Amino acid sequence: MARPKKCRWVKMEPGVTFFKPQGIPLRSLEHNVITIDEMEAMRLSDFLGLNQEQVAKEMQVSRPTVTRILARAHKAVADALAHGKAIRIEGGDYRLAEEFLVCRFCGHQEPAPAQKGGEPQTCSKCQSPNSGQIAADKTR
Ligand SMILES: [Zn+2]
Contact status, residue 102 vs residue 136, Cβ threshold 8 Å: no
Query: Ligand 1 centroid vs 127 CA: distance in angstroms?
Result: 6
> Which residues of the chain are under the pLDDT cut of 70?
1-15, 95-101, 111-121, 131-140
Query: Ligand 1 centroid vs 54 CA: distance in angstroms?
Result: 17
> Where does residue 44 rank: exposed (0-12), middle (13-18), buried (19+ CB within 10 A)?
buried
Query: Ligand 1 centroid vs 102 CA: distance in angstroms?
Result: 8
Residue 26 DSSP class: G
Q: For 60-84, how does the pLDDT look when each residue is reduced to its tens digit (9 = 90+)?
A: 888 999 999 999 999 999 999 999 9
Task: State the pTM of this model.
Answer: 0.59
C-alpha to C-alpha distance for 72 and 110, rounded to whole angstroms: 25
Query: Ligand 1 centroid vs 103 CA: distance in angstroms?
Result: 5
Residues 6+ apart with CB under 8 A from 2: 99, 117, 134, 136
Query: Ligand 1 centroid vs 40 CA: distance in angstroms?
Result: 24
